[in-house]
Structure formats: structure tokens, C-alpha cells
Amino acid sequence: MSTPKRRHSKTRGKKRRTHYKLDEPSVAKCTNCGNAILPHHVCAKCGYYKGRQIIVKKEKAKKPKK
């Protein structure tokens, strides 16, 4: 593999990197609770996906005060 004969300018390197950027993630609304979720994912808050319950959420048991 050959090595470069001359150094590339800073501008040339920056032109190449102009498309290296992050996009905002698309956000959907849960049909059950209205929480913001990623599309095609189960809602972390209620466990529903496309109107069906996929994950059964357990409620935390409260410890009695002494």
C-alpha cells in the first residue's frame, strides 16, 4: 500500500468530514400512555406495543416502616 506523497490541507480534510454528523432520533408516541418512545419499540413505562401488552410490569413492594 502506498503512502501519500504530500500532506492534505486542513480544508480538504474538513470537506470530507462535513457529513459526519448526528441526526436527532425520531420519536413516536405510545398509544396507551402517551409517553415518548422510539418507533417499533415496546414502551418502557407501560409495556405496550401496538395496543397490546407485551411486558407485564411488576409494582415495587413497599417496605413497612418500623
What number of residues does the chain have? 66
By the 10 Å C-beta count (0-12 exposed, 13-18 middle, 19+ buried), 22 is classed as: exposed
Query: Which grid cell is 33?
Result: 400512555
pLDDT in tens, 4-54: 899 989 999 899 888 888 888 899 999 989 999 999 999 999 999 998 999
The yes-or-no verdict on residue 57 having pLDDT over 90 is: no
Domain ranges of the chain: 24-58
Q: What is the pTM of this model?
A: 0.56
pLDDT in tens, 34-48: 999 999 999 999 999
Whole-number pLDDT of residue 26: 93
Whole-number pLDDT of residue 39: 94
